Amino acid sequence: MAATSATVEACTGKATREACMLIVFIGPPGAGKGTQSKRLLNYLGIGHLSTCELLREAKAAGSPLGKMAAQSMDQGRLVPDALVVEMVNEKLREPQFSKGCLFDGFPRTLAQARALDASLEKRGTPLCLALELRADEEELARRMLGRAAQEGRADDNPQTIAHRMEVYHQQTEPLIDYYRFKSILSIIDAMGTPDEVFERIKAVVEKRRKQ
């Protein structure tokens, strides 16, 4: 409960309200995270932190952290969570993240979420909001298959979609209960047009900013 109290305190008060906007998106494949995250970034004017891009940039730059990450990547291994969190902390010091951050692709697992929270709370900037885009999985599968047919993408077929859904349930879905316990989870109905879904997201974000 201490972590929850810290989060609530950090998100209250006019002076800290804007700086508090550290947001995580959760949702199954095909739920529209990419589309909605772009809209939210423009709406809030906060930084976008993609861990995939972060790792590629760090490797290309040859920084000390990047060299350590490159060793894992070149050997086909996952970059250790502690190293990714350290790289995230380093990135958050850049000016474009002064008003907040939308995390993309991280955390994906419960272990990563705990590591990120521990690090952010040490900085005095805990996560403010976790948004779960929730939708009917059969409808999501139809969406992805339709998109694949239109774009000629062979990678989105019933087998790969089923596998991606399974990975989501096993690795990422536990984050929902984790963030619910911390009292920062909001569930967004992802069914409807992109405009309708974004209006729901804006309503949740504005409610959090006014608390």
Active-site residue list: 33, 108, 147, 153, 164
Q: What is the DSSP letter of 182?
A: T
Residues 6+ apart with CB under 8 A from 194: 32, 35, 36, 39
**Contact between residue 33 and residue 130 where contact means Cβ atoms under 8 Å apart:** no
**Contact between residue 194 and residue 35 where contact means Cβ atoms under 8 Å apart:** yes
Site of tokens 């403010």: 128
**Contact between residue 99 and residue 19 where contact means Cβ atoms under 8 Å apart:** yes
